[in-house]
Every structure is written in structure tokens, then in C-alpha cells.
Structure 1
Amino acid sequence: MTDRRAIAEMPLRVRYHECDGQGVVFNAHYLAYVDMAAFEVEKALFGSHRDFLATGLDLVVAESNLRYHAPCRFDDELVVSAFLTHLGSTSLIFDHEIRRGALLTTEARVRYVFVDQKTFRPRQPPDEVRDRYLPFLPTPEHA
């Protein structure tokens, strides 16, 4: 992934119950870490998840992909960073990096769709919502 400005960086410490019999973080927990970081993005852009919901929108996951580079273990201190890579008419894509110190352990790409809270049908966000995300889109040389 290229150098971009993270919308949010969330530190966390791996808990014992998140590890499998091999002593590493069970694969599904990485998506939970990314999901937790998504709420930090909303906090950074809107003040809180509740403030984001006040727009009448919600976000649903349409697609996710994980790439594991190095295992994480109990008590590791990690940082999950969220980078906006695409903002479409009804969807957006975030690339996430999970690091232990300088070591990139995991990459995740998640495509979200803006939906109407009542119908859960895709919906274009109003300009005031899009404008919160726009400053974090990568410049053409980093796309």
C-alpha cells in the first residue's frame, strides 16, 4: 500500500481469547479489528457513530479481503490504520493496515455501501457527507 493519510489509527492489544490453538490471532478477529477501526473513522469524520447515523445513512460491508503477512500473538500491541482509497456514488473502499511496531502484519480491503437506514437500499450520500471523506482520497500519484 502506498503512503497516504490515515483517517484513523486505532491502537489495540491482542487479548488471550482472540488467539487460536496455534497461539496466533484467529483469522476472523482481524475483521473485527477492522470493524472497530471503522467506528474510529466515523468518530474522526462525524464526531461519533450516532452523529453519522443522524445523516439518515448507514454503511454495510459488501466485500472484504484480508492478506496476512505475519502472525499476531497474545499481548501484541497493534495499530489498525484506515485509508480511504475509493469514493464512488454509493460505495467506498478502505484499505487497512495492521502493524506491530513498524512490521506490517495484515492488510485488509473493505468495500462499504451507503444505504438508507429504513430500506437498506443503496443510497447516494449528500454532498455534506461526501465532503467529509474527500480530503482523504489519495492523490493521483498515490492512487
Structure 2
Amino acid sequence: MTGTAFTHRIRVRYSECDQQGVVFNGHYLFFYDVAVVELFRARIGSWQQVLERGVDLVVAETRLRYRAPARFDDELDISLPVTHLGTTSLVISPQFHRDGRLLTDGEVRHVFVDPATGQKTPIPEDLRSALSA
């Protein structure tokens, strides 16, 4: 594990709930995506600034484990510990909490790519430092 986990809070909207009254499982990845953009904004700058460094990020693999449901109007704290920084890849192990209770956790592997070619590329050292902070 590297560095301290970044945490972003999001409130569940009614439209994100299914007929059982709980957050539809696919929305957790949307919540995750919102939190990752905020992680990068806090540690590096806007996504445009990331692109200006000659890299972009694509999702290569996801895994989520649902332990307890989130419901409409819940405030979820999404912690994003960076658990692996490879040569070209990054693994974040998100944890979704409500009032300190773990609801969902998992792992998302990203690959850094050249935005022009779509080919994987090494993580720039300044981004590596910022993500391991």
C-alpha cells in the first residue's frame, strides 16, 4: 500500500436506486469514477493537466464486493487507497462507507496510456509521487 487514502463524499440520489430501494450496483463504479477525478484534482490538478503531461488513464479491470446496501439520501464516503503503482498500471482499492460502516469494497486496475496512440506508457514520475503521497 502506498500513501494516505483520499476520501470523497457523495450523496445518493433517488434516481440511483433500484426497485428494491437500494443503490443499483452499477452506480458504484460511477461513484468511484467521480471520486477518482477528485483524487487527481486534489493531488495533481484538473484532468486536462493530466492529459497535458502526455498520459491518460483507462480502466483495465474492476472487482467490487457488496457487503450492505446504500439507500437514497445516504452520504457515502469513498476512500481511495492506492495499493499498487507499477510501471504502467495503478491499482486503487475503493472502500464505500456510510457512517463508518463498510458497505462495498473492491479493486480497480488502471493503465496509463498515450492519449494519441492508446498504447500503454510509463507513469510520469511527478504523477507517481503525487499518487503515492
TM-score higher than 0.5: yes
Once superposed, which parts of structure 1, at least 4 consecutive aligned residues long, lie more than 3 Å away? none
- By how many angstroms is 1:102 displaced? 0.9
Residue identity in the other structure for 1:90: T
Q: How does 1:107-126 map to 2 (within 5 A)?
A: 107-126=105-124
Structure 2 CA distance, aligned partners of 1:133 and 1:76? 28
Match of 1:140 in 2: none
1:28 to 26, 31, 46: 26
2:46 to 41, 45, 48: 48
Moved more, 124-133 or 34-43: 124-133
| Paired positions, count | 132
Show the counterpart of 1:94: 92
- Give the SS at the match of 2:129: helix
2:50 alignment partner AA: F
Task: Please tell me whether the aligned partners of residues 99 and 106 of structure 1 are also in contact (alpha carbons under 8 angstroms).
Answer: yes
- Structure 2: gaps spanning 5 or more residues: none
Measured after TM superposition, the shift of residue 128 of structure 1 is 2.2
Matched-pair contact (CA < 8 Å) for 1:34–1:108: no
Q: What's the secondary structure of 1:32's corresponding residue?
A: helix
> Unaligned 5+ residue runs, structure 1?
136-143
Please provide the CA RMSD for this pair.
1.3
Asked if the contact 2:89–2:123 (Cα under 8 Å) also holds between the matched residues in 1, the reply is: no
What do the CA deviations read for 1:52-83 (whole angstroms, capped 9, x no partner)?
11111000000000001100011111111110
SS of 2:31 mapped into structure 1: helix
Correspondence for 1:79: 77
Give the Cα separation in 1 of the matches to 2:112 and 2:97: 28
C-alpha offsets along residues 1-55 of structure 1, whole Å, 9 cap, x if unaligned? x9x721x211111100000000000000001011111101111111211111111
- Counterpart Cα distance in 2 of 1:132 and 1:77: 27
